[in-house]
Structure 1
Amino acid sequence: MKANFIRKAVNYELIPQDEFVIEKEVLIEPDLFETFIKNPLDVYDFIKENIELMYCDKDGTFHCILVTSEQHDFGILVESEGYHYARYTAYLPKTSIRS
């Protein structure tokens, strides 16, 4: 198993705290998804094409896209804050998405 470890965590950093809304699921090819998860700060057309869906509202809720592929059992939440790269990201297992 794998997990992300946070160095010298304080103030509940280990527990997810941010509210989010998935505005759209963006399904991409597995090879592009692998490239994206290795280089999330690169510029991507799928982020640029959905830029109007990503923002943080007045209550602090992240409105984001979920980027994934059919072959992966997880996705990456992206809120670009108006940029063409993944400025804010979060790992999300597909099993945690409610239908």
Structure 2
Amino acid sequence: MRRKEASCVPGVFEVTKVIILSREDFEKLSEDVSPEYPFLKDNREHMSADPGGLFRCLMARAEGEKECLLIAQDGDALYLGYGKDCRKVDLRSVPKEYIILEEPKAYQEHAVFYHRPRSVDDINGQNPMRPAPEQETSFQVEQETVLTDEQYRSFLKNGFMNDQPFLFGSRDKMWFDPGKLCWHCVLVRGENSKDGVLIETEGYNYARYAAFIPDCEKLRLRDVPIHYEYPAKAPQKQKRRYWENVR
């Protein structure tokens, strides 16, 4: 069944990953499988759909229960299937992940990149002499670099054109893919800042291209490595959104 259009399409399926939820979360997901759920965004590489052919899909089920949902995606199209007994599916060697269902969230996946900005005022729309480019571009964060709040404020004020040690060690994480028109970049933020800056250096040690991010919580940062630039420190306790299978 294709979501919203309620039309049936033929095909065979392959389960690429099993998502295990609490009973309450599974019931909630069953009521409306929104494509904006974070776990679907985070697992897009596990899904594909070829109507009439092969559907590579996630299997979502409640812990200890037999019924399941099969979820496949192709671009913006979401395909759903229902299974009465997941035990009838060969799941040997299929990876499992236990998660707590998060509310659907729209990620920011495009940004405006500026060439050779001097400060944050050149990229946040506050400088009338630096009008925004007409078109936003897609990006992918390859590393998150955390500065102290003082270091971050100094960087925003006058550090864009200066060589930065934290960029020198991350140059292999930054490039532009002309085929996909996608910036592969480093996110720089402060320990307690809500906003951040996406940076691509073109092999230099300064912010050759930069984009301002008002809210880092809207970025897809799951599994993105984090570097804490001394003296910034990793928090001792972090909120865990995903829980592990310890069996």
Q: Distance in 2 between matches of 1:95 and 1:29?
A: 18
- The normalised TM-score by structure 2 is 0.35
Provide structure 1 residue ranges, at least 5 long, that are not aligned to the other structure. Answer: none
Rg larger in 1 or in 2? 2
- TM-score w.r.t. length of structure 1: 0.82
Q: Classify the secondary structure of the residue corresponding to 1:31.
A: helix
Counterpart selection for 2:139 from 20, 26, 40: 20
Distance (whole Å) between structure 1 residues aligned to residue 147 and residue 191 of structure 2: 8
Q: Distance in 2 between matches of 1:83 and 1:23?
A: 17
Q: CA deviation at 1:94?
A: 1.4
CA distance in structure 2 between the partners assigned to 1:51 and 1:42 by the alignment: 15
Match of 1:80 among 201, 217, 239: 201
Look up the match of 1:97.
219
Pick from 163, 166, 169: which aligns with 1:46?
166
What residue identity is the alignment partner of 1:21? Answer: Q
Q: Displaced runs of 4+ in structure 1, greater than 2 A?
A: none
User: In 2, distance between residues paired with 1:24 and 1:72?
Assistant: 17
Q: How does 1:51-70 map to 2 (within 5 A)?
A: 51-59=171-179, 60-70=181-191
- What is the CA deviation profile of residues 10-62 of structure 1, one whole-angstrom value per residue up to 9, with x for unaligned ones? 9x72xx51110000100111111111111211110010010011000132210
Which residue of 1 is the match for residue 62 of structure 2? none
Structure 2: gaps (5+ residues): 1-123, 223-247
Aligned residues between the structures: 94
> Cα RMSD between the aligned structures?
2.2
Greater RCO (Cα-Cα under 8 Å, separation 6 or more): 1
Q: Which amino acid in 1 is paired with 2:171?
A: I
Give the Cα separation in 1 of the matches to 2:138 and 2:217: 18
C-alpha displacement of 1:66: 0.1
Shift of residue 95 of structure 1? 3.1
Q: Distance in 2 between matches of 1:90 and 1:27?
A: 16
Cα distance in 2, alignment partners of residues 58 and 89 from structure 1: 17
Separation in 1, partners of 2:191, 2:147: 8
